[in-house]
């Protein structure tokens, strides 16, 4: 294991923000990680675990040690008539796991195609897209407890999944490194094509009886057309969460804004697309020097090159304020601001 000091994190965050870590080290298996955690120089430092760096916005240099998860490997570990249990290393690229599932003709994560980031980061925010969330296929995860070095197993209940939420963003924040995730994937496929854009895209592709491969292709097409590729334009996907508001407030707003979309969450609340709210406030496509709001999806903030994290944060807070003033709705960032 090689310790690097004063290490540039620019290639390690999809926003492409140029900050440095005091120390940086990568581990490739659980044993290496456990050995690392025993070392005094690691014990004393504050620690940051980086997966694909696709959900962070750095606003300053990191005064501690960055641990990069390099644990690879994907295999079917158990199967029965209906399901195959696939175990993947926390350092695997998420989309490679989607490709693995397609190659093995296993259904359940085709709607989650092309989500940036790693397998180990996926449960932290219960990644989701086009009507599917990780929790729908999640079986277990293995994670090393930073303070003791012990390997613990979490089932879905212990993970306390919610909309872009888990125990790892709350009570257990910063306490664990996810070393492996085990998914329960379907041998008999149950496609979820309820999302409008998927239906339309499959029609355009002239697919009558879609397979998991077709759904994945449709999702890739939609994402490529709406969301900027971090390899070209720095970004961290949705910057904000879609806010949940009382149905009563929605009914009032709907009188004033008849086009306002919403999805029911419960009898008392609905979820409103933050992208719509931000667009209504005139931010879509806004360019401020070398950063701004993406032209095809107002929920995504972008770095055109050389932007400072603190400037992007300032933009985020200006957006929050204008949505608050216009609609009385508070937006919350989905991205971790460090
Ligand atoms: N909309 C606008 N203007 C915009 C963006 C969206 O009016 O600039 C409207 C759309 O017309 C549509 C609605 O908002 O009526 C929903 O838009 P979209 O289908 O693009 O989804 P979203 O709610 O904006 C969420 C996730 C995405 C995920 C998509 C598809 C969150 C915070 N974001 O976005 O996740 O890909 O649904 O399922 O829940 C991510 O987390 O990084 C991410 C990209």
With a 6 A CB cut-off, is 129 part of the ligand 1 pocket? yes
Atom in ligand 1 nearest the alpha carbon of residue 298 = 8
Query: Quick check: 193 pLDDT over 90?
Result: yes
- Judgement on whether residues 241 and 332 belong to the same structural domain of the protein: yes
DSSP 79-131: E-SSEEEEEEETTSBHHHHHHHHHHTT-BS-GGGTT--SBTTTTTTTT-EETT
Distance from the first to the final alpha carbon of the chain: 26
| Residue 216, domain member (yes or no) | no
Residue pair 50/88 in contact (Cβ under 8 Å)? The answer is: no
Does the annotation count 223 as an active-site position? Answer: no
Cα separation of 249 and 233, whole Å?
36
Band of pLDDT at residue 290, cut at 50, 70 and 90: very high
Lowest-pLDDT range of 39-43, 233-237, 311-315: 39-43
What CATH number is given to the structural domain containing 130? 3.30.465.10
Band of pLDDT at residue 250, cut at 50, 70 and 90: very high
| Residue 19, domain member (yes or no) | yes
- pLDDT score for 34: 97
Cα separation of 259 and 300, whole Å?
21
The continuous run of DSSP H or E covering 247 comes out as: helix 247-256
Q: For Cα atoms 312, 314, 320, give the angle at the middle one, nearest 5 degrees.
A: 105
Residue pair 225/219 in contact (Cβ under 8 Å)? The answer is: no
252 torsion bin: left (phi>0), alpha (psi -120 to 50), beta (else): alpha
- pLDDT score for 194: 87
- pLDDT score for 188: 97
- pLDDT score for 17: 97
| Residue 36, domain member (yes or no) | yes
The pTM (predicted TM-score) of the whole model is 0.93
- Judgement on whether residues 80 and 182 belong to the same structural domain of the protein: yes
Residue holding tokens 């004393």? 44
- In this structure, the strands spanning 20-27 and 4-8 are antiparallel
- pLDDT score for 152: 98
With a 6 A CB cut-off, is 201 part of the ligand 1 pocket? no
Ligand 1, atom 25: closest residue by C-alpha: 129
Atom in ligand 1 nearest the alpha carbon of residue 297 = 8
- Judgement on whether residues 27 and 98 belong to the same structural domain of the protein: no
- Judgement on whether residues 55 and 86 belong to the same structural domain of the protein: no
Give residue 40's domain range.
4-69
What number is the average pLDDT over the span 25-45? 95
Query: Quick check: 204 pLDDT over 90?
Result: yes
- Judgement on whether residues 78 and 177 belong to the same structural domain of the protein: yes
Ligand 1 center from residue 29 Cα (angstroms): 36
- Judgement on whether residues 108 and 148 belong to the same structural domain of the protein: yes
CA 58 to each of CA 19, 53, 128, 215, 334: distance values in angstroms, whole numbers, following the listed order: 7, 10, 23, 34, 14
User: How many structural domains compose the chain?
Assistant: 3
- pLDDT score for 56: 95
With a 6 A CB cut-off, is 298 part of the ligand 1 pocket? yes
Residue pair 234/16 in contact (Cβ under 8 Å)? The answer is: yes
Query: Quick check: 1 pLDDT over 90?
Result: no
Does the annotation count 238 as an active-site position? Answer: yes
| Residue 260, domain member (yes or no) | yes
Lowest-pLDDT range of 8-12, 192-196, 199-203, 216-220: 192-196
- Judgement on whether residues 312 and 270 belong to the same structural domain of the protein: yes
Residue pair 172/181 in contact (Cβ under 8 Å)? The answer is: no
Cα separation of 105 and 83, whole Å?
11
With a 6 A CB cut-off, is 176 part of the ligand 1 pocket? no
- Judgement on whether residues 54 and 119 belong to the same structural domain of the protein: no
pLDDT tens digits, 134-186? 999 999 999 999 999 999 999 999 999 999 999 999 999 999 999 999 999 99
With a 6 A CB cut-off, is 243 part of the ligand 1 pocket? no
- Judgement on whether residues 64 and 78 belong to the same structural domain of the protein: no
- Judgement on whether residues 78 and 181 belong to the same structural domain of the protein: yes
As a whole-number percent, the residues of the chain with pLDDT over 70 amount to 100
Does the annotation count 164 as an active-site position? Answer: yes
What number is the average pLDDT over the span 36-50? 92
- Among residues 279, 314, 327, 330, the alpha carbon closest in space to that of 300 is found at 279
- pLDDT score for 109: 98
What number is the average pLDDT over the span 99-126? 97
What CATH number is given to the structural domain containing 53? 3.30.43.10
Q: What is the mean pLDDT of the chain?
A: 96
As a whole-number percent, the residues of the chain with pLDDT over 90 amount to 96
The single residue of 92, 133, 164, 216 carrying the catalytic annotation is: 164
With a 6 A CB cut-off, is 116 part of the ligand 1 pocket? no
| Residue 46, domain member (yes or no) | yes
- Judgement on whether residues 40 and 88 belong to the same structural domain of the protein: no
Ligand 1 center from residue 237 Cα (angstroms): 10
Ligand 1 center from residue 272 Cα (angstroms): 10
| Residue 15, domain member (yes or no) | yes
What CATH number is given to the structural domain containing 319? 3.90.78.10
- Structure token digits, residue 231: 């390899």
Query: Quick check: 196 pLDDT over 90?
Result: no
What number is the average pLDDT over the span 38-52? 91
| Residue 287, domain member (yes or no) | yes
What number is the average pLDDT over the span 212-221? 97
- In this structure, the strands spanning 300-303 and 234-238 are antiparallel
Ligand 1, atom 11: closest residue by C-alpha: 276
Band of pLDDT at residue 41, cut at 50, 70 and 90: confident
With a 6 A CB cut-off, is 294 part of the ligand 1 pocket? no
Cα separation of 137 and 128, whole Å?
11
Cα separation of 17 and 328, whole Å?
32
- Judgement on whether residues 181 and 85 belong to the same structural domain of the protein: yes
pLDDT tens digits, 170-182? 999 999 999 999 9
| Residue 192, domain member (yes or no) | no
């Amino acid at each position: 294991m090689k310790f690097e000091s004063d290490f540039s994190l620019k290639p390690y965050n999809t926003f492409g923000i140029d900050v440095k870590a005091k120390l940086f080290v990568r581990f490739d298996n659980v044993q290496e990680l456990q050995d690392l955690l025993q070392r005094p120089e690691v014990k004393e430092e504050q620690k940051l675990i980086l997966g694909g760096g696709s959900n962070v916005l750095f606003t300053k240099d990191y005064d501690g040690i960055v641990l990069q998860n390099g644990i690879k490997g994907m295999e079917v570990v158990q199967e029965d008539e209906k399901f195959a249990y696939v175990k993947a290393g926390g350092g695997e690229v998420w989309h490679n796991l989607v490709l693995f599932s397609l190659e093995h003709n296993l259904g359940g994560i085709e709607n989650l195609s092309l989500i940036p980031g790693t397998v180990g980061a996926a449960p932290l925010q219960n990644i989701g897209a086009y009507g599917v969330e990780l929790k729908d296929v999640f079986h277990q995860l293995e994670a090393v407890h930073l303070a003791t070095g012990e390997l613990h197993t979490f089932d879905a209940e212990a993970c306390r999944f919610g909309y872009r939420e888990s125990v790892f963003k709350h009570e257990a924040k910063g306490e664990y490194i996810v070393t492996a995730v085990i998914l329960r994937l379907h041998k008999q496929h149950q496609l979820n094509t309820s999302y409008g854009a998927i239906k339309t895209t499959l029609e355009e592709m002239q697919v009558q009886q879609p397979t998991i491969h077709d759904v994945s292709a449709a999702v890739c097409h939609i994402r490529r057309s709406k969301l900027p590729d971090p390899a070209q334009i720095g970004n961290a996907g949705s910057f904000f969460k879609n806010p949940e508001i009382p149905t009563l407030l929605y009914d009032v707003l709907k009188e004033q804004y008849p086009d306002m979309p919403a999805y029911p969450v419960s009898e008392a609340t609905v979820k409103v697309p933050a992208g719509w709210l931000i667009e209504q406030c005139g931010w879509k496509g806004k360019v401020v020097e070398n950063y701004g709001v993406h032209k095809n999806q107002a929920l995504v903030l972008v770095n055109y090159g050389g932007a400072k994290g603190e400037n992007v944060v300032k933009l985020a807070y200006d957006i929050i304020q204008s949505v608050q003033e216009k609609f009385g709705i508070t937006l919350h960032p989905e991205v971790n601001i460090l």
